[in-house]
Amino acid sequence: MKSAIVIYDTSYGNTKTIAETIAEALKGSGFEVRLSHAKDVKELRARDYDLLVIGSPTRMSNMSFRMSRFISSKIKGAEWRDKPFASFDTELQVVIEKGGGSAAEKIAEKLSEKGLKQVPTVLKASVLGIKGPLKEGEIENAKKHAMEWASELKV
């Protein structure tokens, strides 16, 4: 059985909701899944997972400071080279429509620079206000993305 870890940061709970949805969809696709807030991950070893999924709210066109620190401190070394990953975020619908900066894209850039291999495509979940709620249809969209990521890794 393939395994995945879904790691997220959240400000108002919207990114957590998307992370939970992704975790459930991956489980439904046959993955063993660990779901964790970034602040709760004490140890992370590449060999323990077939897929790394990381998400953050978008803040000022970037990922949260906590997630940036997490990636810098926990994901390093040759063991991560070629490890498949997927990224997601929550961001204001108006920012997505204008093509503004995205936490998911910044996460993907940072992980790619470290030698990990992106599973297409990033997931951008729209929120209607800074505190939410999620735009209608975003839960279903997250499920769809997670199932696509899972199918990319099936042999």
Q: Annotate 89-153 with DSSP letters as a single string.
A: EEEEHHHHHHT---HHHHHHHHHHHTT-EEPS--EEEEESSTT--BPTTHHHHHHHHHHHHHHHH
The pLDDT assigned to 18 comes to 98
- Residues (pLDDT < 50) of the chain are none
Q: Is 80 helix (H, G, I), strand (E, B) or coil?
A: helix
The pLDDT assigned to 154 comes to 81
Alpha-carbon distance of 18 to 33, in angstroms, equals: 14
The pLDDT assigned to 120 comes to 92
For residue 140, the tally of other CB atoms under 10 A from its CB is 10
Q: Determine contact, residues 98/65, Cβ cutoff 8 Å.
A: no
The pLDDT assigned to 36 comes to 98
Q: Report the amino acid identity of residue 150.
A: A
- For the chain, report the end-to-end CA distance as a whole number of angstroms: 11
The number of distinct structural domains making up the chain is 1
Query: In this predicted model, what pLDDT tens digit does every residue of 17-58 receive, in sequence order?
Result: 999 999 999 999 999 999 999 999 999 999 999 999 999 999
The pLDDT assigned to 44 comes to 97
> What is the domain range of residue 65?
3-153
Alpha-carbon distance of 16 to 81, in angstroms, equals: 27
User: What CATH code is carried by the domain that includes residue 17?
Assistant: 3.40.50.360
Nearest Cα to Cα of residue 52 among 26, 24, 28, 15: 26
